[in-house]
A = this chain, B = another copy of it.
Amino acid sequence: MDKFWNNNLEIKNELDEVIKIMEKRIKNSNRSIRNILLDMIRNSGKMLRPAFVILSGKFGEYDRKRILPLAAAVEMLHMATLVHDDIIDNALIRRSKPTIQAEYGKNYAVFIGDFLFSECFLLLSDNITIENLKKVSKVVSRICKGEIGQFESRYNIDITINDYLKRIAAKTAALFALSFYVGAYESNCGEKLAKILGSIGYNIGMAFQIIDDVLDYTGEENVVGKPLCNDIRQGVFTLPLIYSLEKNKDEKMIALLKKESYCEEDIKRIVEFVQENGGVDRSKMLAEKYTKKAFDKISMLKDSPPKQILIEVTSKLLYRNY
């Protein structure tokens, strides 16, 4: 597993169990599905979503037999969306390894994603209330709408900050919020506390995606684990660029962006434009604002070990470089 949880052994150990649950789920599938997915599971990233299900569960009557399968289901759902996203983005590398679509082809990627969806729902139907299962379905539907929206607004220089925020709320923050909410609710935290935790998840998710989009402009390729400037190459205009265009409607830059296909020299010019016009800095400030909102809600929680972990993680996510 990723080094992200090395300082929180309690969470790390639970996440190791989540990995075992996922491995067990795919044990009986075709050999090729099994091998592909075992690779993917063993190369899992920070596993934030399942960690948040667990962490949130610890605010209530934590029952690992119930919570860990839920955490596994949420991670499988996330994996499904990654596998399918990589098809759309034509992504070759993720977490420093070839993507499924790059290594095995789009055909495998389609069915591996579907298989993960079905296994997610199978795990859920054994371990969740029907109301929350409905919430999960709604989030999947939102993620799809968000991804289609993103795909459709490629090369659209009229995209607003509001459009962007709506898009990342759907494609990222909704699942973060759900992870927190479900972990809490299914641990009998009660609706009120579950909603507060869900809202913390939402704000962390918004900050997380903004930082991700910033790292696509400013990160180091070998640290981030995937090629930089991937969004812009696909025609996806994210916050740093949107802010920069808002500040400076440079005609040459707009003409360049309208070309709808960029060479390396174009990419370099776009990155420079974004840095010169403060797009990165303003984006970081907005991520900080969402993080602050998360902290405001966290401060409403009574002191406890999971609260302490939550504080550490929230701040670590804001100041990460991968």
Contacts and interface: CB of A to CB of B under 8 A. Distances in A.
Contacts of A119: 137, 141
A38 B99 CA distance: 33
B30 A111 contact: no
A30 B145 CA distance: 7
Contact of A122 (B110, B118, B137, B147): B137
Contacts of A39: none
A133 to B, nearest CB: 5
Interface in A232-277: none
A28 B256 CA distance: 35
A125 interface: yes
Interface string A136-154: 1110110111011101100
Interface string A95-124: 000000000001110111111011101101
This chain's copy number in the assembly: 2
A119 B106 CA distance: 23
A88 B87 CA distance: 13
Interface residues of A, number: 41
A148 B118 contact: no
A87 B114 CA distance: 13
Contact of A141 (B88, B108, B115, B133): B115
Chain B CB within 10 Å, residue with most, of A111, A112, A137: A111
Contact of A140 (B32, B117, B136, B143): B117
A161 B145 CA distance: 42
15 contacts: A30-B149, A33-B145, A84-B110, A84-B111, A87-B107, A87-B110, A107-B151, A114-B140, A114-B144, A115-B144, A118-B141, A121-B133, A122-B138, A122-B141, A130-B133
Pick the 5 closest A-B CB pairs, nearest first. Answer: A118-B140, A122-B137, A118-B141, A125-B134, A115-B144
Given A30-B149, A88-B111, 18 more contacts: A84-B110, A84-B111, A87-B107, A88-B110, A106-B106, A107-B151, A114-B144, A115-B144, A118-B137, A118-B140, A118-B141, A118-B143, A119-B137, A119-B141, A121-B140, A122-B134, A122-B141, A133-B133
Interface of A: 29-30, 32-33, 81, 84, 87-88, 106-108, 110-115, 117-119, 121-122, 124-126, 130, 133-134, 136-138, 140-141, 143-145, 147-149, 151-152
